[in-house]
Amino acid sequence: MTLAQKGRWTTLVGLVLLAAVYVRALAFTPIERTQGPAQKIYYIHVPAAIWTETAMILVGVASIFFLFLKDARLDSFAEASAEVGTAFATIVLTTGPIWGKPIWGTWWTWDARLTSTLFLFFLYIGYLLLRGAVADPGARARYAAVLGICGMVLVPFIHFSVYLFRTLHPMPIILKPSAPALPGSMLATWGVSFAVFTVLYVGFVMQRYALARARQEVPHA
């Protein structure tokens, strides 16, 4: 099986499992007392947010290795991870408001996770735009690697900025879901959901990577 095919199967499995998680979350996990059914979006929202960040860090790591090893596969992986990261960021930025509206009565809040993800989203968009704007493939890979490393290093700074901002402008904490304090069944659902998103990340990246490699091969054909 080619990488793209394996990727497709992985993604399919991931999506099926995701549907299963949905079912479990909606039907079999207790409704959170203060927030009601809307809280359940949390099972999608938080794993996606974690993977948005992790994907960026992986872009950075792959970029560092690329600058040393000059292996085009690392560049393809970075490209794939960036695109998948963008997709996950979009999921977070759409599920966040959907969850926030019934709770807070407003579509957007400057809550820590949403804000960080928004900034990450801009980072990803910049990365993808840079890749699109450089014609020479050698320069494209190098520039993307430079930006990727800077992006990876920026992630903790965004965290700290948002954290510092929040401690001085406290948001309603009581309504925010916090991972460790969940009771057993919720924690289990969350754990499964995170695993599913990991599978989805891997599946999507495999397909996207295969596509990137195929595109690189074409001029040689």
Partner 1 sequence: MLSAEGLTHAFGPVRALDGISFRLEAGHTLAVFGPNGAGKTTLLRVLAGQLRPQRGCAEVRGGRAAIGWISHQSFLYGHLTVIENLRFWASLYGVKREARDRRAAELLTRLGLAERADQPVAALSRGLAQRATVARALMHDPAVLLLDEPFTGLDLAAAAELRRLLGELVGGGRVAVIATHNVDEGLELATDIAFQHRGRFVQLAPRAGRDRTQVADAYRKAVGVSGA
Partner 2 sequence: MLERLKLAWVVARKDLLLEFRTRTAILSAVVFTALVLTVFNFGRDPTAVPTIDLAPSILWVTFTFAAMLALNRAFALELENHALEGLLVSPLSRTSLYWGKLIANLLFVTIVEAVGLPLFVLFFDVPVWHVLLPLVGVIALATVGFVAVGTLFSAMVIRTRFAELMLPVLLLPFLIPPLVGAVQVTARLLSGRPASEVVGWLRLLGAYDIVFVTLSTLLFPHTVDE
- Binders in 29-58 for partner 2, by CB under 8 A: none
Q: How many Cβ atoms sit within 10 Å of the Cβ of residue 77?
A: 24
Q: Contact letters (x/-) for partner 1, 7-36, by CB under 8 A?
A: ------------------------------
* Smallest separation (angstroms) from partner 2 to the CB of 135: 8
User: Which among partner 1, partner 2, none contacts residue 190 (Cβ within 5 to 8 A by kind)?
Assistant: none
Q: Report if residue 219 touches partner 1, rule: CB under 8 A.
A: yes
Q: Distance of alpha carbon 9 from its chain centroid, rounded?
A: 20
- Binders in 103-132 for partner 2, by CB under 8 A: 119-120, 122-123, 125-126, 129-130
Residues that bind partner 2 (CB under 8 A): 67, 119-120, 122-123, 125-126, 129-130, 133-136, 138-139, 142-143, 145-147, 149-151, 153-154, 157-158, 160-161, 164-165, 168
Residues that bind partner 1 (CB under 8 A): 137-138, 219-220
